[in-house]
Amino acid sequence: MITTNSENLYNEAQKFMPGGVNSPVRACRSVGRTPLFIDKAKGSYIYDVDGNKYIDYICSWGPNILGHCREEVINAVKATCDKGLTFGACHKGEITLAKLIQKHFPSMEMLRLVNSGTEAVMSAIRAARGYTGKDKIIKFEGCYHGHSDGLLVKGGSGLLTNSIPNSAGVPKGYTDTTLLAKYNDENSVEELFNANKGEIACVIVEPCAANMGVVPPKEGFLQFLRDITKKNNALLIFDEVITGFRLSIGGAQKYYNITPDLTTLGKIVGGGMPLAVYGGKREVMECVAPLGSVYQAGTLSGNPVAVTSGIETIKILENSVSEYDVLNEKSAKIEKTMKEIGLNVNRVGSIMTPFFTDKMVIDYDTAVTSNTENFAKFFNHMQSNGIYSAPSQFEAMFVSMAHSDEDIDYTCDVIKSFKL
């Protein structure tokens, strides 16, 4: 596969952007490749600037559950653009989107639209602190909640990929109130609550972790978090930036039937435009300005183009609820093929990760036992054969409703031909 144009652009990009990219994992460093520069995408396919066509399992890291360029979404977005890109003012679409979100996430009694998952989580935590009057938070090793200062502690995603355990530039004081627990380890949470009695504002968790690779919650873990937070007057925040509208139309909270106090959504909720959401219990959200004293704002928040993209995407998903089963079956087929060649796969619904370890991957410690050199070989085999998937062990593979049976069969054939 010739990728000369991508390589030339990458050389140029490095003069202007750190590592030539605007988000670190895109640099493909851990798999020893240079990034592909993308020209266009349609349905399940993505095309690079050398004219190569790939079946896309990155799906923009999750948003494209409908595949790329779904006609109804694009047309609605174009029509909205004609009326103005941003007003910095109220418009009807905000209410339409809020209603749609609330219909499927009834726990979000009130919500706020923001521009990125990072912003949504940062704001949800601020609301939790404002509401409870407590400072400390519990997060889990290997869970990623965006790049705000207080959350850059043993995060997953690019922090793991690029072996950055924490981040430089974060004053110690910013993370002093971030307590770390182990995913799927109830004792580690209990110990923190015991050692910090009356001081914990919230527990934030990816209800199905996807940023240390996919790591599902073990049976009873989320219920345990629900119970212990309630007992300690702390809030439970589900970071559903990845799982929202993906594990089911009602996200992980519907899939696992556990109701958090606050939820963050991103990716699918904006249908590919910069849009994210935080929300939850009315009494907590009423603490947010201008009603309350928790400040949070945004010039482009709720901008009409992103809102339209979100509305149209969710409307299509509403009419495709049975498609979720099909999507899961397609994903199961890929999982089965990976297992047949001896890979250790974690899958929930349409997100999955193959690991290169004999250990069951249940948390950060077991995720990092995966042999990342072997992952890189797998990634390179896939990409050389026209499969575009995450260039990092510590991310998820996303299947979309646009992937055809032929796409899946071809993908399985490529997997079968992989040899270490």
Which residues here bind ligand PMP, judged by CB under 6 A?
A: 61, 116-118, 121, 144-146, 157, 206, 211, 239, 241-242, 266, 276
Closest CA to 42 of 68, 76, 72, 71: 68
Cβ closest to ligand PMP, residue 43 vs residue 142: 142
Q: Is 122 helix (H, G, I), strand (E, B) or coil?
A: helix
Whether 172 is catalytic is: no
Amino acid in position 172: K
Amino acid in position 357: T
Closest CA to 368 of 357, 353, 376: 357
The enclosing H or E element of 267 equals none
Q: Is 17 helix (H, G, I), strand (E, B) or coil?
A: coil
Catalytic residue among 45, 47, 144, 256: 144
Q: Using CB positions, name the residue nearest to ligand PMP.
A: 117
Cβ closest to ligand PMP, residue 152 vs residue 334: 152
Cβ closest to ligand PMP, residue 132 vs residue 157: 157
DSSP 148-190: -GGG-BS--THHHHTT-SB-TT--HHHHTTEEEE-TT-HHHHH
Looking at the DSSP bridge assignments, the partners of residue 278 are: 112, 264
Cβ closest to ligand PMP, residue 208 vs residue 415: 208
Contact present, 265 and 244 (Cβ < 8 Å): yes
The enclosing H or E element of 298 equals none
CB of 418 to ligand PMP, least distance (A): 26
Phi, psi of 265, deg, nearest 5: -125, 155
Cβ closest to ligand PMP, residue 356 vs residue 394: 394
Catalytic residue among 267, 278, 330, 363: 267
Whether 267 is catalytic is: yes
Distance in angstroms (rounded) separating the CA atoms of residues 102 and 23: 31
- Tell me how crowded residue 263 is: count the other CB atoms within 10 A of its CB: 29
Strand spans (E) along 206-245: 235-240
Cβ closest to ligand PMP, residue 52 vs residue 400: 400
CB of 240 to ligand PMP, least distance (A): 8
Secondary-structure percent of the chain, ordered helix, strand, coil, rounded to 5:
40, 15, 40
Looking at the DSSP bridge assignments, the partners of residue 209 are: 215
Whether 144 is catalytic is: yes
Can you give the three-state secondary structure of 39-53, one letter per residue?
EEEEECEEEECCCCE
Cβ closest to ligand PMP, residue 25 vs residue 414: 25
Could you tell me the end-to-end alpha-carbon distance of the chain, in angstroms, rounded to an integer?
A: 20
Which is it for strands 262-265 and 276-280: parallel, antiparallel or unpaired?
A: antiparallel
CB of 117 to ligand PMP, least distance (A): 2
Contact present, 352 and 396 (Cβ < 8 Å): yes
Active site residues: 144, 239, 267
